[in-house]
Amino acid sequence: MIGKLRGVIDSYGEDTVVVDVHGVGYLVHCSARTLQSLPSPGEAATISIETWVREDQIRLYGFASDLEREWFRILTGVQGVGAKVALAILGTLKVSDLANAIALGDKAQISRTPGVGPKLAQRIVTELKDKAPAFASVDPAVVKLQDELSERRASTPVSEAVSALINLGYGEIQASAAVAAAVRAAGDKAKTEELIRHGLKELAR
């Protein structure tokens, strides 16, 4: 199996690049983000490779980093997510943003990808929510709060405070992060008004 290619960029296609390795041209399928990160034809490049072997073809998928390749593997393990959709997602979202979106259950962020509707975005979040936190950069307390809100297990003051901030025009994730910080500052037994006040202070920073 080919795991990495180091050579010279020969040419680009719409969603492919040909890498010349000692006179052999390898056709590699890439996300738009990976293609944009590669140098001009004639320049040297190193690409992480995922090799797919099928009865009628061998196809190479290329990535700017091993982490991006790992996320390609993770995404294609979700039912309904093939290589084309996985590349589209990785072309739309940075790996860190994708991990954060899944960890926070932000389906809207994932469905920004062309070809990914709400149902598929929900499936991606559901199937990968246990894996994403390991790659995410968000506060674990915010992830926990999002889980509680989505399952309607959050305490009334917390859920009311998040709703109040959303009604003031803040995004759900932004509001949840502010309230999570407010809970840490004011304590678990804080009332709605106190959480809103602390949350607004957090958002004003």
Instruction: Give the pLDDT score at 59.
Output: 94
Average pLDDT, the chain: 84
Q: Which domain holds residue 19?
A: 4-63
Nearest in space to 134 (alpha carbons), one of 86, 74, 91, 175: 74
- The long-range contacts involving 70-74, CB below 8 angstroms and separated by at least 24 positions, are 71/95, 71/98, 71/99, 71/135, 74/128, 74/131
Domain count for the chain: 3
CATH number at residue 120: 1.10.150.20
What is the bridge-based pairing of β-strands 24-30 and 4-12?
unpaired
Same domain, 127 and 77: yes
Phi-psi region of 110 (alpha: psi -120 to 50; beta: other; left: phi over 0): alpha
- Coil, strand or helix at 17: strand
Residue 144: pLDDT over 80: no
- pLDDT-derived band at 143 (thresholds 50, 70, 90) equals low
Instruction: Give the pLDDT score at 152.
Output: 43
Q: Which one is predicted more confidently, 188 or 169?
A: 169
- AA letter at 176: S
Residue 177: pLDDT over 90: no
CATH number at residue 18: 2.40.50.140
Count other Cβ atoms within 10 Å, centred on residue 164: 18
Same domain, 190 and 159: yes
Q: Which one is predicted more confidently, 63 or 178?
A: 63
Among 2-6, 133-137, 178-182, the least confident range: 133-137
Query: pLDDT tens for residues 78-100?
Result: 999 999 999 999 999 988 888 88
Same domain, 53 and 110: no
* Predicted structure pTM score: 0.68
- Residue holding tokens 């040297």? 44
Where is mean pLDDT largest: 102-116, 136-150, 184-198? 102-116
Nearest in space to 121 (alpha carbons), one of 152, 160, 164, 75: 75
Where is mean pLDDT largest: 62-66, 128-132, 144-148, 194-198? 62-66
- Residue holding tokens 């390749």? 69
Instruction: Give the pLDDT score at 153.
Output: 43
Instruction: Give the pLDDT score at 99.
Output: 84
Residue 147: pLDDT over 50: yes
User: What are the CA-CA distances from residue 102 to residues 34, 45, 147, 185, 205 (Å)?
Assistant: 21, 31, 11, 26, 26
Same domain, 125 and 177: no
